[in-house]
Amino acid sequence: MTWWLDFSSDAFIVAFYLYCASFIFFAIAVGGKRWSNRKPEDHTNRWGKLGFGAAVIGWLAHLTFFFTRWYGGGHIPTSNMYEFMTFLGMAIMFAFIVVHLIYRNMLLGAFALPLVVIIIAYASVFPSEVQPLIPALNNYWLKIHVTTAALGEAFFAVGFAAALMQLIRVVDFTREDKAGKRAQRWTEFSLFVIIVLIGFLVAVFGFRGAGYESVFKQETVTIDDNGIASSEVKEVVYSLPPIVAPYNSEIVSFQSFLGMKEPAFESFPWLNGVNAGRKLNTVIWSIIAGLVVYGVLRLIARKKLTAVIHPHLSDIDPEDLEEISYRAIAIGFPIFTLGALIFAMIWAEIAWSRFWGWDPKEVWALVTWLFYSAYLHLRLSRGWQGTRSAWLAVIGFLVVMFTLVGVNLVIAGLHSYAGV
């Protein structure tokens, strides 16, 4: 079985590099056409076809990773954060391929591929070893629930990419009035949220490469139904400099950073879980690193990043982008409904003997479903089209990302195993 897992890892690396190459080809198709003496259409088609070809081959390698890891590990590889995020990246690529074959829009890859690369890199932060399934996960409904939910979210991701392209395409950077400035700021902020995810990767891999580690000891006291108190001491290991210490903890070892010899403050007592402080610390470092990355890019560009991208989208019809975004979400919504709600409830009844328990992940899955229900209702019944529809698609996927990242990393619940 070890050979299969080694082969699976190699296939995953091949898929990652092919996705990176695909993004480069798509980026050349978007930006390089201004440097070419050929007709823009010829240049875009040539590099766009190379990008799509690399994406398809990369997806096949990713599919190979998925099935060989399944065979070598003995269960479907969607049981922890590493496996789920790699599967989500593969699902987004599948959704992109489907949408591309329908609309033949080469430039969508310039926005969809970076999202896949970021998600795969994000998955690499978590332990990649095959772990035995906990009892709650050892059921075939896990396969059905997780895969369909992720596939629905993948189509939401493609809808987000097209909507973000649409917003950057239609924003007018020459406007100086209040409404024009507001549109520019919010479009830039949407791009900044993605950069924060990149900042998270920069911080984690940077400090991990430097071998940073600090350790805390935390004592938790529990009182049973008979009023008898019991305590348990656990160690919490930080791989990022601890701005936030675990609540009610003591320092075991502390590696100073930039003169910081102790944490700035303790985690809040209402954040449950022994790892709550470490997770909050990770979020803070993600924002700090995201601000640094964004600041460096702004210094290089000397203007808003959306203003840099905007001229390269001038040949695209914004109505085509809106159609792509709407169709992708329309495909993903029923799949997400089945996977994240119906199949999830069936699995919850089997695993925890209840259909619904107001677990944070369940609540945010419902919030996501309600949001996209409102998107479809407003677009079809109220005629919300253009930028209003695009903004809903962008905000909707930010809700999805909070459900996947924020809930798993910050809020403790029955799904917290995914964040370990």
The DSSP-derived string for 223-234 is E-TTS-EEEEEE
The pLDDT value given to residue 419: 44
The pLDDT value given to residue 384: 82
Q: Is the pLDDT of residue 295 over 60?
A: yes
Lowest model confidence (mean pLDDT) among 55-59, 303-307, 334-338: 303-307
Instruction: Return the higher-pLDDT residue of 348 and 33.
Output: 348
Instruction: Return the higher-pLDDT residue of 353 and 328.
Output: 328
Q: Is the pLDDT of residue 292 over 90?
A: yes
Model confidence at 408, pLDDT cuts 50, 70, 90, reads: low
The residues that bridge with 215 in the sheet, in sequence order, are 237, 253
The pLDDT value given to residue 41: 52
The pLDDT value given to residue 44: 57
Q: According to the per-residue pLDDT averaged within each range, which of 63-67, 222-226, 243-247 is highest?
A: 63-67
The pLDDT value given to residue 152: 93
Residues near 333 by beta carbon (within 8 Å), at least 6 away in sequence: 152, 372, 373, 376
The pLDDT value given to residue 84: 86
The pLDDT value given to residue 374: 93
Q: Is the pLDDT of residue 413 over 60?
A: no
Question: Tens of pLDDT along 141-179?
Answer: 778 888 899 999 999 999 998 999 899 988 888 888 888
The rounded radius of gyration (Å) of the Cα atoms in the chain is: 23
3-state SS assignment for residue 269: coil
Instruction: Return the higher-pLDDT residue of 148 and 272.
Output: 148
Q: Give, in order, the Cα–Cα distances in Å from 373 to each of 335, 361, 392, 414.
A: 13, 18, 11, 26
**What's the mean per-residue pLDDT of the chain?**
83
The pLDDT value given to residue 60: 95
Question: Tens of pLDDT along 86-128?
Answer: 999 999 999 999 888 888 777 788 888 888 988 888 888 777 7
Supply 229's token pair. Answer: 């108190």
Model confidence at 188, pLDDT cuts 50, 70, 90, reads: very high
Cα distance from N-terminal residue to C-terminal residue, the chain: 24
Question: Tens of pLDDT along 235-271?
Answer: 888 888 988 888 878 888 888 888 788 888 888 776 6
CA distance linking residue 408 with residue 127, whole number of Å:
15
The pLDDT value given to residue 153: 92
Count of beta carbons in the 10 Å neighbourhood of residue 145: 24
Q: What is the pLDDT averaged over residues 294-306?
A: 91
Reference 395, options 366, 411, 375; nearest CA is 375
Would strands 265-266 and 244-245 be described as parallel, antiparallel, or unpaired? parallel
Helix (H) or strand (E) segment spanning residue 236: strand 229-238
Q: Is the pLDDT of residue 418 over 60?
A: no
Q: Is the pLDDT of residue 43 over 60?
A: no
Q: What is the pLDDT averaged over residues 59-78?
A: 88
Lowest model confidence (mean pLDDT) among 154-163, 329-338, 410-419: 410-419
The pLDDT value given to residue 123: 83
Q: Is the pLDDT of residue 62 over 50?
A: yes
The pLDDT value given to residue 357: 75
Q: Is the pLDDT of residue 221 over 80?
A: no
Q: Is the pLDDT of residue 190 over 70?
A: yes
Residues near 139 by beta carbon (within 8 Å), at least 6 away in sequence: 347, 350, 351
How crowded is the C-beta side of 76, counted as CA atoms within 13 Å?
14
Model confidence at 2, pLDDT cuts 50, 70, 90, reads: confident
Reference 111, options 227, 191, 13, 221; nearest CA is 191
The pLDDT value given to residue 420: 43
